[in-house]
Amino acid sequence: MQWITEKYVNFASIIDDATLAQNRMTSSMPFVYPHFASMPDAHLGLGCAVGSVLPTLGAIIPAAVGVDIGCGMVAVRTDYTADDVARLERRALWVAIERSVPLSAGNNNKRLSASARPRIESLEQDAHSAGFDPASYVRDWRLQLGTLGSGNHFIEVSLDEQHDVWLFLHSGSRGIGNRIAQRHIRAAQDYCAQRSVTLPHQDLAYLEEGTPEFDRYIAELMWAQRFALLNREEMMDRVVRQFSDWVGKPVEERERINCHHNYTQREKHYGKDVWLSRKGAIAADPGRPGLIPGSMGTGSYVVTGRGNREALDSAPHGAGREYSRNAARRTFTQEQLRAAMRGIEFRDTPAFLDEIPAAYKDIDAVMEDARDLVEIRHTLRQIINVKGD
């Protein structure tokens, strides 16, 4: 931990100058209280760096929440072990998961599944209560529930240090959440421009509490966060069913953890109620279970929060990029990706070259930086990886 300024504390041992400069700029906003914190996986982002924990009084910066509202992780510890699945063909489960969950940007369900219907009905009621129609953003938003997306989103089957089988999944609010986020980022820019607010960067535009613009953002933000959580639940239910079919027996869920890492909520810190925006960070208050994934070829972690005050009860959300996607494609080869994924069932395609583990920070270094933020309960190693290109 290092205090960069009176308003900015940094927990990352691996961090570049551009990200430090971006964090200083964000922490200088007048409504930041008590201070800004950057997590061990921090890296350059839109307006606000990824790996940011931003507490604010009376205002929210929509870009500091991010465009994938509610993005996060869900994991299930099953009642099966490595011995139970050792003789089964992994490719068969990989294919079944790909058929069950629509992958890649723009791919939706063709129809609502039976498990999706009650979740959709609940979201429809929530949207009505929030006073908006999600179809004004995306006409077929209902068909996006239960879809993965692309980029660093994934579905994995993993083994922990005790050889228990875990099902692990990373995704968010899909196209509907992105549209909502983009709309309110622009609304914040318009809001500040109309009031002649001088900003260090246009993506640090904010909405002030007590205004109609703020109220509408909060209502739609909370809806998108719930969509993201239910999206992960829907996908995980499908993965559990496919795994059950694969092993030929029902699955007993020993544990299920579902946590956001791009979101805002009300919390109390240093004696005041603040809006706490975590962009690429998980809540890690004392005893809270959490999930910290590595990259597609490295370990992931099941953790418990330690409640670090300076970190505002937060922890990293993953490894964090060291190479941009374009830089990764220029730097690494398909052979290097195959070597990194040896022993893991995955789709062998150049489309995933920008997701090669070497494009990310060393997850072990990130977790060492996070030793005062979380306690590691389980270390997971994947045997199957499913991604959208």
Catalytic center residues: 317
* Token pair belonging to 349: 């395609």
Query: What is d(CA 305, CA 325) in angstroms, rounded to the nearest whole number?
Result: 31
Phi and psi for 192 in degrees, rounded to 5?
-70, -40
Strand ranges inside the chain, DSSP E: 2-5, 8-10, 36-43, 50-56, 59-60, 72-81, 154-159, 164-171, 207-208, 255-260, 262-269, 272-279, 281-283, 289-292, 300-305, 314-316, 374-386
Q: How far apart are the first and last CA of the chain?
A: 36
What SS3 state is found at 220?
Answer: helix
Radius of gyration of the chain (CA): 20
Task: Cis check for the bond before 118: say yes or no (omega within 30 of 0).
Answer: no
| Closest alpha carbon to 40 in 370, 374, 379 | 370
